[in-house]
Amino acid sequence: MHLAHDPAAPAVETTTFDDFLKVDIRIGTILSAEPFPQARKPAFILTIDFGSGVGVKKSSAQITEHYTPETLIGRQVAAVVNFAPRQIGPIMSEVLTLGFPDEDGAVVLFAPDQRMENGARLF
């Protein structure tokens, strides 16, 4: 599936609320962020704490345009936690960290505007 980065693009096909509920999106806190030089595109390896229900997971995130490892530590982010893990170079990316493209296509992270309990689920 190709994701459109054009804000003027129409919405994708209609779906059901039950289908939406199949995608488990949770809040987690970034514990560590390290450069990922083996990635094809510039990326960081994030270690994210999603609380006791989901646990601590790793994510390869192409977010190097707007963030540095130092600015990511302690930041809360939203991620899909129930996709199958994906091998990306030498690491297994266990969650999909969510963001939106800026005008140039660089990722801006999606996060709550208030501090949330790790593991809180989007509904």
pLDDT tens-digit series, residues 14-25: 999 999 999 999
Structural tokens at position 20: 């939406």
Q: Is the pLDDT of residue 65 over 70?
A: yes
Task: Classify 82 in phi/psi space as left (phi over 0), alpha (psi -120 to 50) or beta.
Answer: alpha
Q: Is the pLDDT of residue 103 over 60?
A: yes
* Average pLDDT of span 51-79: 97
User: Structural domains in the chain?
Assistant: 20-109 (2.40.50.140)
* Average pLDDT of span 100-112: 94
Cα(57)–Cα(29) distance, rounded to whole angstroms? 10
**CA-CA-CA-CA dihedral for 2, 59, 77, 105, to nearest 10:** -40
Average pLDDT, the chain: 93
CA 30-42-85 angle, to 5 degrees, is: 55
pLDDT of residue 2: 43
* Residue 72 or 40, more confident: 72
φ, ψ of residue 84 to 5 degrees: the values are -65, 140
Q: Is the pLDDT of residue 1 over 90?
A: no
Q: Is the pTM of this model over 0.85?
A: yes
pLDDT of residue 3: 53
Integer-rounded Cα Rg, in Å, for the chain is 15
User: What is the Cα 94 distance to its own chain's centre?
Assistant: 10
